[in-house]
Structure 1
Amino acid sequence: MDLLSLAVAAVAVFIGAAGQRMIGMGWGLVVTPAVALVAGPLAAVLVVNLYGALACLVILPSVWRDIDWRRLAWLAVPAVAMMVPGLLLARGADTDALRIVVGVIAVVGVVVSVAFTSSARALDGPPLRVAAGATIGVLNASVGMGAPALGIYTLLSGWQDRTFVATMQPFWVIVSGVIVAIRPVVAPEGAPEWPWWGWALIVVPVVAGVLLGNRLAHLVNRTVVKWSIIALSLAGGLALIVTGTTALLA
């Protein structure tokens, strides 16, 4: 049994679940680099999507009234359509190369998202929504890292109100649920070596993180939370790049 990956996953999903509840994203940015570092990119895809769907299901009842169903459809349909190509990409790529890809996506995605934050111009419409959804689907299925593409879309479109936080919960339930369902057929290998009780144990920090996020959502400065997640994501992404590069050069 891989106790290190189990412990790292437990801490990461707790932080990611709290961030997901408070700002509508952060789950993949936190959990993917952490789990990929200790268990590999394919394992990270499974862990991120399985427990991500669970976290969003727990959050969903509290945000149901604010969901933007039309925008959800524009993003979710192309995301689902691109999942099989994403899983096939993950299955055929080199493990160390995938680590580097995950790290680069994390770092570049976060940096670009932050850079766009300063732009006052808002862009939105069906083409951008479809492109964003398709990109999220590919990245989430291949490396468990669809959040940077989502972040860039929200910053470009100016969609950063309470409907964003609400709509992201059913969106990730759909996206993550479909990936978990089709993964055993398309890319069955690469699951973490945990016993059944280890998989059950991870549910505890997921629910605890959501509950903490519920308590802090109206008390904590969201700017502080956002920058904390950004810092953790950058650190995890850089660690993955170094680890993958070192292994390829060895």
Structure 2
Amino acid sequence: MDWSFVVALVALAVGAIAQRTVGMGFGLVVTPTMVLAVGPLEAVLVVNVFGVVACAMIIGRVWRDIDWRGLAWLVVPAIALTIPGILLARAADADVLKIAVGVLALVGVAVSAGFTRSERSFDGPGLRVPTGALVGVLNSSVGLGAPVIGMFAILSRWEHRVFAATMQPFWILLSLSTVVSRQLVAPGGAPPWQWWMWLLAVAPILVGVVAGDRIAARIDQAVARRAVIVFSLLSGIAVLVTGIVGLATA
């Protein structure tokens, strides 16, 4: 068996654990590995397809905690900006765009984290709509919208249990939108996997979700909030480094 595929399976399991416990992190963990295993264009399709699979496995476990009203304010603008994000990626230099997004993400998360010391929270449609729109653009253009969602969770002081639950339908809907939109605007990009490899890749996701269930039952609010900050920072670093490497090797 191709060792790159084995590494991809491990990344899918770890990504599923992160997605179940933190509510984000699947793309952060899986995307860099998939880029190395199958290529950058193919990685977008793989991450979005299996992101839907992971969230679909999780959603039944957290259904009663989903904030459907809050979800609507985020996901509708995110889906609406999916195609513009794809067009932006085609028009702009991808590596320069990644560097700009990475820098902004790191600054934004750092500033947002500073608000954790304050008793004040920021929330409402006026923040959710632009947050969702920005996530839609970034997810479809550079493949990482997690830092923006992390910033929103920090600023709004969204209860982690509700945040983690609401992120499952959010990523399902946004990932499906991204896959469909990419096939319409820029078709292709599937890795040369056999049919059985696609089926086998579901197994580590299931293992990760089950393991994540046990971790989620033991994690407290403070630890979960710190995990959101860490994952958001790592997402920003990942996209920044990817852009720098891309420019350096161009």
Report the equivalent of 1:219: 218
Report the equivalent of 2:249: 247
Give the whole-Å Cα distance in 2 for the aligned partners of 1:139 and 1:193: 26
Shift of 1:218: 1.6
Shift of 1:43: 2.8
Report the equivalent of 1:88: 87
Give the whole-Å Cα distance in 1 for the aligned partners of 2:248 and 2:110: 23
Normalised by the length of structure 1, the TM-score is 0.83
Report the equivalent of 1:36: 35
> Deviation above 6 Å: which 4+ runs of structure 1?
none
Please state if 1:160 is matched with 2:162. Answer: no
Task: Give the partner amino acid of 1:87.
Answer: I
Equivalent pairs, count:
247
Shift in alpha-carbon separation, 1:174–1:230, aligned structure 2, 3 A: closer
Q: Secondary structure at the match of 2:119?
A: coil
Report the equivalent of 2:26: 27
Shift in alpha-carbon separation, 1:149–1:234, aligned structure 2, 3 A: closer
Report the equivalent of 1:205: 204
Give the whole-Å Cα distance in 2 for the aligned partners of 1:221 and 1:7: 33
Task: Work out whether residues 42 and 143 of structure 1, in 8 Å CA contact, stay in contact via their aligned partners in 2.
Answer: no
Q: Secondary structure at the match of 2:130?
A: helix
Task: Work out whether residues 21 and 217 of structure 1, in 8 Å CA contact, stay in contact via their aligned partners in 2.
Answer: yes
Report the equivalent of 2:171: 172
Report the equivalent of 1:151: 150
Shift in alpha-carbon separation, 1:48–1:120, aligned structure 2, 3 A: farther
Normalised by the length of structure 2, the TM-score is 0.83
Task: Give the partner amino acid of 2:25.
Answer: G
Unaligned runs of 5+ in 2: none
Unaligned runs of 5+ in 1: none
Percent identity at matched positions?
52
Return 9-18 or 189-198, whichever deviates more: 189-198
Give the whole-Å Cα distance in 1 for the aligned partners of 2:194 and 2:91: 27
Shift in alpha-carbon separation, 1:103–1:170, aligned structure 2, 3 A: same
Task: Work out whether residues 51 and 172 of structure 2, in 8 Å CA contact, stay in contact via their aligned partners in 1.
Answer: yes
Task: Work out whether residues 55 and 210 of structure 1, in 8 Å CA contact, stay in contact via their aligned partners in 2.
Answer: yes
Task: Give the partner amino acid of 1:145.
Answer: L
